[in-house]
Amino acid sequence: MAKAQKKKDTTPVGDQPIAFAAEISKVLHLMIHSLYTNKDIFLRELISNASDACDKLRYMALTDNNLMEGDAELKITLSSDEQANTLSITDNGVGMNRDDLIESLGTIARSGTMEFFNNLSGDSKKDASLIGQFGVGFYSSFMVADKVEVHTRKAGEAEGYIWESDGQGEFTVKVAEGEQPRGTTIILYLRDDSKEYTDKFRVRHIVNTYSDHISFPIYQQTEEGEEAINEGSALWVRPKSEISDEQYQEFYHHVSHSPDEPWMVLHNKAEGVIEYTNLLFIPSIKPFDLFHPERRRRVKLYVKRVFITEENVDLIPAHMRFLRGVIDSQDLPLNISRETLQDNPILRKISDSISNKVLSELKKKAAKDAEGYAAFWENFGAVLKEGLCEATTNKEKILEVCRFHSTDSDNLTGLDDYIERMKEK
């Protein structure tokens, strides 16, 4: 056979098993053998992925409505089968094709994967709470299942695929026979010690605990039909008085992927020259990549409740990159593309406004509770001080909330206090 100069197709075809990347095998081993003390979180992770998939499709459909294929009511459905011992999580979001499946679920370890290992403490409960943070959430399905199938079809594509694995080193991807609906169904074949997850009340309880804030409706299939089991509306648009501390906290876990309690919650609606709602959190622990050179900001931008991006747009200043949460703008056009968000004057205004708000809340907190403020300063003071070296209009205000060590006492001191104490001349 003549050797043609053809690019080699490295995509494995058919039922050929594909090996997991080495780091992922390690993650799987941990999931299966040691992180099962707080198993319930697998459902939070899978629902969070389903919600992300719906967000992605809704964003893509802004510019190409055909992708909705006449099925624009995005939703998540849970169904269980006690006979077969399975629990399924279905979404009609963006779905995955073969390449997506191979990349996302097995061969490419994220940059966070190594960090995940570095952060393991050996305390399985603590370690399980790290799962979402480092982008290994999907693999938590193996805490409760000894076999996982992913049936999926990508929006706008014809072919559906089935990914399958027992979490022991390999997986397979094959073409789905017959019609595969758009989106993804994850079928968990439950382990003997995890049969409880076929129990509808148990599942509903977990959803209420961890996933009530998800902005897409979550349905549970029952003998009588489908029943909605969450509120299904974006948390940040609900009135403050109707949101409990637990709901804020779960939402914080969802957006930050961080296991701690937020140090501060900022939930406001700005009405005036610019209109937006912010639900922002200051963490009580340092995110692992806080001092990475890219200085990534991770506040999510929504426009009229449609998720747009969490990439590095100028939504908040870099020296406030410890902030987590969402900002939902009323002023940006819905058909905005991520590219046109660079150097956008509306975003600049939102960023200035948020910056003022954060600094004034910090000032209040510092005045009211110096000790509590010291905890914030310990975590994020160095980041905030970067703002002093940057072109911002807020330097004075940043200085007001800066704290320093002094020879006067063991406590941190601010410039105002220092000036008060200062001896004459």
Which chain residues interact with ligand ADP by CB under 6 A? 45, 49-50, 52-53, 91, 93-96, 104-105, 135-138, 184
Selection from ligand ADP, Mg ion, none that 130 binds (CB < 5 to 8 A by kind) is none
The one-letter code for the residue type at 405 is: H
E strands, 271-369, are 276-282, 298-303, 306-309, 324-329
Q: Following CA atoms 349, 352, 354, 358 in sequence, which dihedral angle do they give, to the nearest 10 degrees?
A: -170
Q: Is 137 in the site for Mg ion (CB under 5 A)?
A: yes
User: Of how many residues is the chain composed?
Assistant: 425
Query: Residue 132 CB, nearest distance to Mg ion (Å)?
Result: 6
- The nearer residue to ligand ADP, 36 or 161, going by C-beta atoms, is 161
Question: Contact region for Mg ion (CB under 5 A) — 49-57, 110-118, 202-210, 403-411?
Answer: 49-57
- The nearer residue to ligand ADP, 52 or 166, going by C-beta atoms, is 52
Query: Residue 62 CB, nearest distance to ligand ADP (Å)?
Result: 18
Query: What Å distances lie between residue 19 and 9, 161, 306, CA to CA?
Result: 17, 18, 37
Contact 327, 347 (CB under 8 A): no
- The nearer residue to ligand ADP, 181 or 381, going by C-beta atoms, is 181
Selection from Mg ion, ligand ADP, none that 155 binds (CB < 5 to 8 A by kind) is none
Query: Residue 41 CB, nearest distance to ligand ADP (Å)?
Result: 11
Q: Which of 116, 155, 151 is nearest to 137 (CA)?
A: 116
Burial tier of 38 (Cβ tally within 10 Å: 0-12, 13-18, 19+): middle
The residue of the chain with the least Cβ separation from ligand ADP equals: 137
Burial tier of 424 (Cβ tally within 10 Å: 0-12, 13-18, 19+): exposed
Give the side-chain half-sphere CA count within 13 A for 47. Answer: 34
Query: Residue 180 CB, nearest distance to ligand ADP (Å)?
Result: 13
Q: Is 49 in the site for Mg ion (CB under 5 A)?
A: yes
Q: Which residues of 276-296 are buried (b: 16+ CB within 10 A; e: fewer)?
A: bbbbbbbbeebbbebeeeeee
Question: Contact region for Mg ion (CB under 5 A) — 14-22, 135-143, 150-158, 350-358?
Answer: 135-143
Query: Residue 230 CB, nearest distance to Mg ion (Å)?
Result: 18
Handedness of CA 96, 100, 103, 104 (dihedral sign): negative
- The nearer residue to ligand ADP, 138 or 302, going by C-beta atoms, is 138
Q: Which residues of 215-237 are buried (b: 16+ CB within 10 A; e: fewer)?
A: bbbbbbbeeeeeeebbbbebbbe
- The nearer residue to Mg ion, 137 or 217, going by C-beta atoms, is 137
Cα–Cα distance between 349 and 83 in angstroms, integer? 57
Q: Is 129 in the site for Mg ion (CB under 5 A)?
A: no
- The nearer residue to ligand ADP, 319 or 324, going by C-beta atoms, is 324
- The nearer residue to ligand ADP, 148 or 398, going by C-beta atoms, is 148
Query: Residue 384 CB, nearest distance to Mg ion (Å)?
Result: 29
Query: Residue 134 CB, nearest distance to ligand ADP (Å)?
Result: 8
Contacts with Mg ion by CB under 5 A: the residue count is 2
Query: Residue 337 CB, nearest distance to ligand ADP (Å)?
Result: 20
- The nearer residue to ligand ADP, 176 or 382, going by C-beta atoms, is 176
Interacting residue ranges for Mg ion, rule: CB under 5 A: 49, 137
